[in-house]
Structure 1
Amino acid sequence: MHKLAAFIFRRDLRLEDNTGLLKALKESEKVACCFFLDPKVRDSKYFSANAFQFMAESLIELNSELKKRKSRLFVFKETPEAAIKRLAKTGVGAVYVNTDYTPYSIRRDKGIKEACDTAGIYFDSSFDYLLTEPEKVRTGQGTPYKVFTPFYNKAKLVEIEVPKKNSFTNYLGKDIDGALECEKIEFIKNKELYVHGGRKNCLGILSGLKKFEKYASEKDIPALEGTTGLSAHNKFGTCSIREVYYAIRSQLGECELLRQLYWRDFFTYVAYHFPYVFGKPLHDKEMRWQYDSSHLEAWEKGQTGFPIVDAGMRELNATGFMHNRVRMVVASFLTKDLHIDWRDGERYFASKLVDYDPSVNNGNWQWAAGCGVDTKFRIFNPWTQQERFDPEAIYIKRWIPELRKSEPEVIHNIHAEPVRGYAKPIIEHDKERR
């Protein structure tokens, strides 16, 4: 039994069904709940202010829950190694975390463990973030999977633990020198943010999953509210992935939405076993890119002259979110029509998405480019895609005010007859797709 332990929150911003936290509370007399805000994070070209806002909102709510338990969240605005040294001086004898799987996270946790070893602090890392442990799902030959369907067929056989309640009360009640108040975390507030942080918001989504009974048939229609908004909550763990899994299964049964959770697992699994995907394709294919800064800028700003593409990019820029069907279209357009490197798209999405998850974002972009877990060379025709999935141009008009007075048939034929005030197509799809 440790006299004083620290639990470090990262992608698990909740008290309930938190594996590492529950273990710390069980094995210690007192537990200090901590969050390390490394200043270097904001300097990354992949930093998303929208994701940071969601995280900050979740931390503020988490802090209020801890205050109800006569404690607080101890925020340290310094490197993890410096924070560990500070905790050691306060008498912390054990540090608990939940395991993360990106190369950055593995390096970070290696540094935390080394700092703990130097200070004589016990270090413990628990499996918590995924439905299946990456090391435990293998092919018959013992190698990692590179294709989703066989992975899914194997992974779905693994029994998912039932969520655990947290009835512990042994949280640290006194202050720690150098710890910031949670409310002191500075972030840019986006009033148009698609989804806001905090466990209460996640529980609200989970309680209303019945309205997604038609998810399989409606998930491709961008004009509908056919997506759950759970992705950001899954990224930051405001509810555990087990809570999400059982909420979906109990209300909707074995369904497409449940399968999507395994896609999240799979992309994390691939990035863990093949970390070179952060920077290089999973499958090395001959792909020639044409960097045109004016084309990239037009794509980023939603001024390509292709309505479905521009609507998606404007939605992303405003809200930090883009409908999944539209994500596929804009990614295909960047890589197959503009012939711009998928890594440029990956970086831009990372800087905007409220649900930015490095492994998932990387996996989706490689899938779109045809060099990832599925090497099939797909080209999404933006004209047929918008006519099929947004026939009345409801979604397009929502995000492109220049076209709100235009009839759907005009919008779907805009490549032949431009609309005054709206950008002309920057390329010819039929020519570039060859």
Structure 2
Amino acid sequence: MFGMQVLWFKRDLRLSDHLPLFEAMRNAKHHGLVLPLYIHEPSHLADPHTARQHQAFVHECLDDLQQQFRAVGGYLHEELGEVVDVLADLHAQYKFTHLWAHQETTQLVQFQRDKAVAAWCRSVGVAFIELPQNNVQRGASFFRALEEKPSFQTYLDRAAQEPIKNPAGRDLSAFFAPRPPQDLNRSNVPLAAGADKPLRMKGGRTQARAVAAKFFTPAKLKAYPFSISSPLKAWNGCSRLSPYLAYGVVSDREVLQKLNVLVNTVHGQGDPHAIAKVEDAARFYVDRLIWRQGYFQQFESHTGLETDAFYQGEPFEINAAHLQAWQQGKTGYPYIDALQRCLFQTGWLNMRARATLVSFACVQLGLPWQPVALYLAQQFLDFEPAIHYGQVRIASGTSHFSQMLVYDPLKQQAEQDPKGEFVRRWLPEHGTNQYPAPLIDNAESLKQGKARLHAMRQNRV
């Protein structure tokens, strides 16, 4: 077949608000019918950032995406292999002329993969069209990006008003290329490392819609600003949409529009006091979306966040015993250990809890940020490199962020779990002779850790 187009899905596992899908369909008359493609990459599955829970979540998302495609008369073709190899094989069979995808802000190895794909496309004359998302400008210096891209407020205003393109309910069967004869048997896909988490969130757009519907109510939204700090309250008080945003099951524009609809609904009720509370909470939530976009742009502009030491004297030696005790939740600090046990079972913690884990590991145990970041990447179901590395570098004191944030675990426990409910739930051996003594002295380790950070931050690399 001549003149076919390939639509490559990565971490954008949806049909709604999917600009590459819309553009490929819109150009079918000129460039050919569309083959939607997802590639299971052995190198990505073997990457130490990727864990079995991530793979299982993606498979659930793909199952849901398959249903979305069937509902509009199409399909999702899955392949196993490295991306350039898979594309080369498809090109040999079908001579496709266009490859559509989203730009993604992700790990260096995947950015290099995308560059390899672009180089291959140039070598065979395939047009590779990567469309931006999240209001992020790729490959720009930070200040140039600030000058040239629309402000996030402008993006928010536009996102809240522009109709979202959603193919649901339409028959698009005439736009899809004939399905390749061989379907992938997922049992042949290599398993990522580790075991699945028993209490993690499930993947797929159906699940995401249910989670969003539960959160976007006046009562939930009003309680949100007061629910995000304690791991007890955050479990039901946060939107819990982060895994679905991380894998593109929903877009930030869809979330913004749901928020806008909720605020407009409350406006229609006419209670000024209730309206003001919901508006304040909505602005608080939007601020977090702005931070999210800021992490993306920072990562695009400062890729060294994932790899580079910014200061002389950063700790490079790993105390293996301390690292293992921290990972296993056996430090003798109940709040820290309960956070780790919860994370190990669920794949999720609220932002303050994450920062507390990193601060304790890097400031008080003196661990390098790299193994800490890598371990937590495996544990967080919603691992998104730009946000993850940005937050780890700040909480470890190794970013360019001017303020040094250190989280005293005893103070955090007193403030966020004053009745010990969280600790009792996730650390049943606490209070028994099976629970270890504290690995370090809290006051002394805080004193030494802060002094070490202050000295280190005087000497940039």
Letter of the 1:203 partner, please give it.
R
- C-alpha distance in 1, partners of 2:171/2:203? 24
Aligned-pair CA distance for 1:25: 0.9
Q: 1:99 aligns with which of 92, 103, 119?
A: 103
* Structure 1 pair 182–26 and aligned structure 2 pair: CA distance change class (3 A): farther
Aligned-pair CA distance for 1:351: 1.4
Q: Secondary structure of the equivalent of 1:255?
A: helix
* Maintained 8 Å contact 2:79/2:184: yes
Q: 2:342 aligns with which of 305, 315, 339?
A: 315
Alignment of 1:155-174 (within 5 A): 155-158=152-155, 159-161=157-159, 162=162, 163-166=164-167, 167=170, 169=172, 170-172=174-176, 174=178
- C-alpha distance in 2, partners of 1:329/1:301? 16
Task: State, as a whole percentage, how many aligned pairs show the same letter.
Answer: 20
Q: 2:306 aligns with which of 278, 281, 300?
A: 278
The equivalent residue for 1:374 is 401
- C-alpha distance in 1, partners of 2:313/2:150? 31
Structure 1 vs Structure 2 CA RMSD: 2.6
* Structure 1: gaps of 5 or more residues: 146-150, 407-418
- C-alpha distance in 1, partners of 2:137/2:186? 32
The equivalent residue for 1:238 is 249
- C-alpha distance in 2, partners of 1:6/1:200? 25
- C-alpha distance in 2, partners of 1:395/1:238? 30
The equivalent residue for 1:81 is 84
* Maintained 8 Å contact 1:334/1:340: yes
The equivalent residue for 2:275 is none
* Structure 1 pair 164–172 and aligned structure 2 pair: CA distance change class (3 A): closer
Letter of the 1:120 partner, please give it.
G
- C-alpha distance in 1, partners of 2:5/2:196? 36
* Structure 1 pair 123–290 and aligned structure 2 pair: CA distance change class (3 A): closer
Aligned-pair CA distance for 1:233: 0.5
Q: Does 1:194 align with 2:200?
A: yes
Q: 2:356 aligns with which of 314, 329, 333?
A: 329
Aligned-pair CA distance for 1:285: 5.7
- C-alpha distance in 2, partners of 1:213/1:373? 34
Q: Does 1:422 align with 2:423?
A: no
* Maintained 8 Å contact 1:11/1:236: yes
* Structure 1 pair 290–109 and aligned structure 2 pair: CA distance change class (3 A): closer
Q: Secondary structure of the equivalent of 1:75?
A: strand
Aligned-pair CA distance for 1:171: 4.4
Letter of the 1:51 partner, please give it.
H
The equivalent residue for 1:266 is 294
* Maintained 8 Å contact 1:6/1:34: yes
- C-alpha distance in 2, partners of 1:187/1:247? 36
* Maintained 8 Å contact 1:271/1:277: yes
* Structure 1 pair 95–179 and aligned structure 2 pair: CA distance change class (3 A): farther
Q: 1:41 aligns with which of 44, 50, 53?
A: 44
Alignment of 1:116-265 (within 5 A): 116-128=121-133, 130-133=134-137, 139=143, 142=144, 154-158=151-155, 159-161=157-159, 162=162, 163-166=164-167, 167=170, 169=172, 170-172=174-176, 174-181=178-185, 190=196, 192-208=198-214, 209-210=216-217, 211-224=220-233, 225-251=236-262, 253=279, 254-265=282-293
Give a deviation string over 1:321-343, Cα, whole Å, max 9, x none.
12322111111100111011111
Give a deviation string over 1:172-206, Cα, whole Å, max 9, x none.
36331554156865658736232111011111122
Letter of the 1:33 partner, please give it.
P
* Structure 2: gaps of 5 or more residues: 263-277, 448-461
- C-alpha distance in 1, partners of 2:413/2:256? 32
* Structure 1 pair 111–152 and aligned structure 2 pair: CA distance change class (3 A): closer
- C-alpha distance in 1, partners of 2:225/2:130? 36
- C-alpha distance in 2, partners of 1:184/1:244? 35
How many residues are treated as equivalent by the alignment?
Answer: 410
- C-alpha distance in 2, partners of 1:70/1:155? 36
TM-score, reference length from structure 1: 0.87
* Structure 1 pair 135–78 and aligned structure 2 pair: CA distance change class (3 A): closer
